[in-house]
Amino acid sequence: YLFGDSFLVCPVISPTGVRNVYLPQGEWIDFWSGSHLSGPLLLRDVWSPLARLPLYVRKGREITFAEPVEHTGQYHQAKRAAIRFDVGYAGFEASPLSQWLNLD
């Protein structure tokens, strides 16, 4: 499903962790690996571990993230980082977001 106009979220409901993913027309970037893909495209047998569902972002989008805080009263003090999903995006592990979140 599309989350807003930037994210294509692909839940995996198969016990094998495998599914097909259809990318609509346009340029897409794999959120986790940074791979660039051009749609329309059908990706067959995409495997995903339980903690990392397939997630794609439209190329050229910029998303602002804030570090986790304990409550909204601290939000104004939170560090922020903008991630631009373009040629320079090298995947989640290389992004500032990976330093704030521990997904393993």
Which residues of 1-104 form beta strands (DSSP E)? Answer: 2-3, 7-9, 18-30, 36-47, 55-58, 62-66, 80-84
Query: Is domain 2-100 annotated with CATH 3.30.420.40?
Result: no
| Model pTM score | 0.81
User: Rounded to the nearest 5°, which phi and psi values hold at 27?
Assistant: -100, 130
Write out pLDDT tens, residues 2-61. Answer: 999 999 999 998 899 999 999 999 999 999 999 999 999 999 999 998 888 999 999 999
Write out pLDDT tens, residues 53-84. Answer: 999 999 999 988 887 788 888 877 777 878 89
Map out the domains of the chain as residue ranges: 2-100
Residue for token digits 């690996």?
A: 33
Residue for token digits 């003090």?
A: 77
Helix, strand or coil, per DSSP, at residue 27:
strand
